[in-house]
């Protein structure tokens, strides 16, 4: 078993964090989600969710659009092309890991 092959060394830490992996996974199925929807689905606190969204945006993995629904603020997120690519690559690494460790 080559440990280079395991590819664990260069796992994307942005996506590796479980809370963010969950967010990204959700976004990968839905192409638009507002803050409160994400909060309900992830069960994260607002503060926590806000921070993770900030990191994902800063990494260029999601786009955050701030608008209004009536008079209330509304934050809408969607995966960018880079985000989708990073997610897919992360999944591939997991698959590779699982595959390598199952023999």
Partner DNA sequence: ACAAACCAGTTTGTGACGCAAACCGTTTTG
Partner DNA sequence: CAAAACGGTTTGCGTCACAAACTGGTTTGT
Q: Which of 25, 39, 80, 89 binds a second copy (CB under 8 A)?
A: 25
Nearest distance, CB of residue 68 and DNA, angstroms: 8
Q: Which of 37, 39, 41, 59 binds a second copy (CB under 8 A)?
A: 41
Nearest distance, CB of residue 12 and a second copy, angstroms: 10
Q: What count of other Cβ atoms lies within 10 Å of the Cβ of residue 89?
A: 15
Question: Rounded to whole angstroms, how far apart are CA atoms 14 and 52?
Answer: 9
Q: Which stretch binds DNA (CB under 7 A): 23-31, 33-41, 78-86, 87-95?
A: 33-41
Orientation angle between helical segments 18-27 and 35-42, nearest 10 degrees = 120
Residue 40 contacts DNA per CB under 7 A: no
Q: Which of 18, 47, 70, 73 binds a second copy (CB under 8 A)?
A: 18
Cα dist from 22 to 6, 53, 72, whole Å: 23, 11, 26
Cα dihedral value 33, 39, 42, 44, nearest 10 = 140
* Binding positions for DNA, rule: CB under 7 A: 13, 17-20, 34-36, 44-55, 66, 69-75
């Amino acid at each position: 078993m080559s440990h280079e092959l395991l590819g664990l060394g260069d796992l994307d830490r942005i996506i590796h964090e479980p809370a963010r992996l969950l967010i990204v996974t959700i976004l990968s199925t839905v192409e638009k989600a507002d803050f409160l929807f994400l909060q309900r689905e992830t069960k994260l606190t607002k503060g926590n969710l806000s921070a993770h969204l900030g990191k994902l945006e800063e990494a260029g993995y999601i786009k955050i659009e701030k608008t209004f629904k009536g008079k209330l603020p509304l934050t809408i997120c969607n995966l960018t092309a880079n985000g989708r690519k990073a997610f897919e690559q992360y999944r591939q690494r997991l698959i590779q890991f699982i595959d390598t460790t199952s023999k």
